[in-house]
Structure 1
Amino acid sequence: MPNGTRLTDVETVTERGSYRFTAADRFTNDREVVLVPCEEPPGVRAWVNTCPHESQRFDTGDGVPMRDGEVICPRHGSLFDACSGDCDNGPAAGTTLRAVEVAVGDGAVYLTDDGYSFRHEGGTDDGDPGSTSHLSL
């Protein structure tokens, strides 16, 4: 079993097509991360849930749009290889997704990246009660 935080089963990622979670970076900023299936070992890759071209989220709660092993940016249609994160087409050509290290063991996916700590399943705004202030301006 890999050292790290258990995120989900590999089967969940392949059945859903993706899995979204929130992790804190080294500066304690919450970042959304997505797991996507990949045909190369270990079978799953993790990427920060943002297109490097225009900061568009891939998964806004309905899963990552994918086709033929590529992540599709919903804003401009650029395609990113799900295994390498590289884009060679559209407005995002020449960019690469920001990787987050994960490992697979015993059918489960673990967050192993020292730069991130697991916060919760889902997006950064899932379950956010919003402002609790009773002040009005």
Structure 2
Amino acid sequence: MQELADVETVHDEGSWLFTVEDPYGSLEEVVLVPCEDGVSAWVNRCTHEAQRFDTGRGVPMRDGQLVCPKHGSLFDACEGDCDNGEAAGTTLPGVAVATNRGTVVLTDDDYTFRHEGGIDDDEGPDSTSHLSL
């Protein structure tokens, strides 16, 4: 189990973004969002057109629902279900997490934690120069 964030942090900040690797070596962004029972974890994309919820500024939320920034579809933060807009009738892909003494831990055997933030957040600028100063 990998420790991710404090439940309090997720509730205070409104969401928490991290990157995982799936069994095939592909990277995937996941968001933790506040829920009345603690937190839930969802793959960071709308089920309609794969629009990212968190684009680096946190997940847009309204009344306990994730808001797709492209079409405005609303997903229940605790269940992942959508009943309106372009994504109506779909459910977000979930990632298994649990809480342990106020800390959220990744418990999903299909994913390996890589780092906090988005997929590209740990990459520095590319350089083609071989000069050193």
Do both share a fold (TM > 0.5)? yes
Q: 1:29 to 1:130 in 2, by over 3 A?
A: farther
Task: Say if 2:60 is the partner of 1:65.
Answer: yes
Q: Which runs of 5+ in 2 are unaligned?
A: none
Counterpart-to-counterpart distance in 2, 1:130 and 1:80: 35
Which of the residues 32, 37, 42 maps onto 1:35?
32
Unaligned runs of 5+ in 1: none
Distance 1:106 1:35 in 2: 17
Q: Which amino acid aligns with 1:16?
A: E
Q: Are 2:37 and 1:45 equivalent residues in the alignment?
A: no
Counterpart of 1:23 (choices 9, 15, 20) is: 20
**Superposed displacement of residue 28, structure 1:** 1.2
Matched positions, count: 130
Letter in 1 for 2:118: G
Q: How does 1:101-112 map to 2 (within 5 A)?
A: 101-112=96-107
| Counterpart in the other structure of 1:127 | 122
Match of 2:108 among 99, 113, 120: 113
Q: CA deviation at 1:118?
A: 0.3
Structure 1 residue ranges, 4+ long, deviating more than 3 angstroms after superposition? 130-134
How high is the sequence identity, in percent, across the aligned residues?
Answer: 63
Determine the structure 2 residue equivalent to 1:8. 5
| Partner-residue secondary structure (3-state), 1:59 | coil
Determine the C-alpha separation between the residues in 2 that align with 1:49 and 1:133. 32
